[in-house]
Amino acid sequence: MLLRRKPTDTAHTHTQHTHAAAGSQVQDPNTIKPDYAPSSPWKRYIKRLPRIFKEQGSEENIPRSWVPLTERNLTEFYNEDYSDEHDAFHKVRGPRKICVLEWVQLLPGVSIEGALPIAANSPQKPPYGLYAEKLSGTAFTAPRHENQQTWLYRILPASAHSPFEPREAATYNTNPENKPHEKLFHIPNQLRWDPFDLDETVDWVHSLHLVAGAGDPTMKSGVGIYIFAAGKDMDPHEAFYSADGDFLIVPQHGVLDIQTELGKILVRPNEICVIPRGIRYRVTLPEGPVRGYILELYQGHFTLPDLGPIGSNCLANARDFQAPVASFSEDTDTSWTLLSKFSGHLFAAKQSHTPFDVVAWHGLYYPYKYDLGRFNTIGSISYDHPDPSIFTVLTAQSDHPGTAVADFVIFPPRWLVQEDTFRPPWYHRNTMSEFMGLIHGQYDAKTGGGFQPAGASLHNVMSAHGPDATTHEKASNAELKPVKVGEGSMAFMFESCLMVGVTEWGLKRCKKVQADYNAESWESLEPHFKRPEKKVGEIRNGTGSKEGEIGDKSQVPHWTS
């Protein structure tokens, strides 16, 4: 059930909060304990709902299923600015008559009901003089179950702009394979990074740093892994899109207020957002600097994984994904700059109208968000640690079923109850590449202290890895009673079947690679092997026989030890 905000309540908006004063230092959240409790939005919202809850201000009266499981993620479930269901066929009209987003401009005295054509997608004259435009995320002839197309009804078409020109060609490049003096370094070493720095000096577009990747966006093949760290809003009349792939955005610190062509999305830590290839958007920072991770998918699109024997529910449920409701601006007089990331390079074009003029849309190709707190975790209730594939939120399959170009996997708070089992992940070598990050807390398989929020690790194809020495010691001697791990923590993994290369920025220029990663994690592991004690008169040659009997080495000299 979706709890809607009262129509007359406009107290909470996505308004811009005051940024830190110029020149002030931003406190890195990794050095302080987050404080979530004192001014919790719960009490403020509950007080505004006296008609629903008899005891005004009582948190206990809210059914748990009416709010997201991540305590701070309350806003969307009290307003009408989001639609629900991933892979649902959205028919979205916008904006609402009562607008809670300050930058949406309503046409005075004009109703927008009927902006979406009925039956036809491209009538001779769309309602209200709008232009019909098709946004294709797949080939027109893609199989129906894979086909992703959306019809937009906008004030001016997206093509109404000047030619794109290269911008910052000497400094902006997120596709180093296209430059002979920059390349990806393919190395078998296990890598781990200290927390990446916050950066107050750049906006969203210029905060993107490619750390690692594989393939080539020009061939629509492979993935790119980014760190973003921004401290400024994008210019008020600037929009951005990537022609290279779909962005899966994982915030670690701060809030992203994303205005897209199809509507607005507010994304906070413990949420993720997917912005498909080509969709134009603008990012502002209502609570100051932001930092996080991005997985750019050059081929295909993210989908929910098949559940197989799990059945029809669990893991990430379709009902918990949220898509934006259309909202628009009627600005046809202001000069805007449209930025494009095309083959990793930056291009710019000018246009005399806002790109955010979509009055209505319907289709299957749209941005969406998901609260990781709603993930329904599956695990073993008998013995052994299952494969991490049971923690997959979204996947993008290769042409070989069951093998992913990209999986997005999380390790949320969960109960461990296995009997006679080493409960952390086992030591392993994987044909897949594993890039891990930590949103907050402490990952239960890395308790030695080196894997920190805003940091990362990369275990490439067949690079051996597993619990660090400290974790192995604890887990090998722990009392095997039911225990909940990961409380207050959220780790994740970008997994790919591709061999991932590391950029020069990721390997050297960021200056975050931990040189002592192996020494700290595994070189200190000690052997515990002990040969079984030999019993008197017993010859251990695999037969269990006694001296002088058949099977004795002295009687059968051609047998080897």
Contact status, residue 439 vs residue 490, Cβ threshold 8 Å: yes
Residue 435, phi then psi, degrees to nearest 5? -110, 120
SS3 487: coil
Distance (Å, whole) CA 65 – CA 317: 14
Token pair in block for residue 178: 């296209």
Ligand-binding annotation for 434, yes or no, is yes
Q: Of 557, 517, 542, 541, which Cα lies nearest the Cα of 193?
A: 517
Using CA atoms, how far residue 352 sits from 163, 336, 337, 355, in Å, is: 13, 6, 9, 9
Using CA atoms, how far residue 462 sits from 213, 387, 408, 459, in Å, is: 16, 16, 19, 8
Distance (Å, whole) CA 104 – CA 94: 10
Q: How far is CA 550 from the centre of its chain?
A: 65
Q: Of 307, 214, 276, 282, which Cα lies nearest the Cα of 499?
A: 214
Ligand-binding annotation for 465, yes or no, is yes
**CB pairs under 8 A, 24+ apart, for 471-475?**
471/424, 471/444, 471/445, 471/446, 471/447, 472/424, 472/525, 474/447, 475/422, 475/423, 475/424
Kindly write down the DSSP assignment for every residue of 110-156, as one continuous string.
---TT-SPSS-SS-SS-GGGPEEEEEESS-TTS-TTT--EEEEEESS
Which residue out of 12, 19, 385, 440 is catalytically annotated?
A: 385
Rounded to a whole number of angstroms, the distance between the first and last alpha carbons of the chain is: 69
Ligand-binding annotation for 428, yes or no, is yes
Distance (Å, whole) CA 325 – CA 361: 9
Token pair in block for residue 188: 């078998």
Residue 219, phi then psi, degrees to nearest 5? -100, 5
SS3 509: helix
SS3 232: coil
Is 385 catalytic? The answer is: yes
Token pair in block for residue 512: 């975050």
Token pair in block for residue 318: 């379709």
Ligand-binding annotation for 383, yes or no, is no
- Report DSSP state, residue 334: S
Q: Give the residue numbers of the binding site for homogentisate.
A: 443, 465
Residue numbering of the annotated binding site for Fe cation: 428, 434, 465
Active site residues: 385
